Structure 1
Amino acid sequence: MKPNSNVDLGSVQWRKSSYSSGSGGECVEVAGGLPGLVPVRDSKSPAGPVLLFGGGAWTRFVGGLSYGGPRMR
């Protein structure tokens, strides 16, 4: 996906994984409400950079996590 600096993230609602601990460990947040895009950021750095994934790419990524992803040897 091409970089897009015209995406307004000011009104999106960020949500953290239910697997996240309350101690502020390594976690990501995702936001919805942008058709065709899934913004992702580091929960420890909410003012930091945001990655924008296309909807299809995000679906495949999450599906791979649910499946267990590729096996390392």
Structure 2
Amino acid sequence: MPQKIDHNKLWKYTKVILNVTMGLLYAFIGFFVIKKQWFMANLEPVVSYALGGLLIVYGIFRMYRVYKDTDF
């Protein structure tokens, strides 16, 4: 007899994976903006550090929020 799939648990795992991936992506884009000083246009160094730092902090915040909300 096949096992029954718990769709709620499957959705929780999918949500965690998606949010962690997006957090890593935001952090990666933040590092890219700081390194290349480019985001859709050439940026001044001050602007690239501010935007890159903001993207990195937001990515870390997304991953922290997943860590706090996950109750497996």
Higher helix share: 2
Q: Which has the higher contact order (CA 8 A, sep 6+)?
A: 2
TM-score range relative to shorter protein:
under 0.3
Q: Name the larger-Rg structure.
A: 2
Using the size of structure 1 for normalisation, the TM-score is: 0.26
Higher strand share: 1
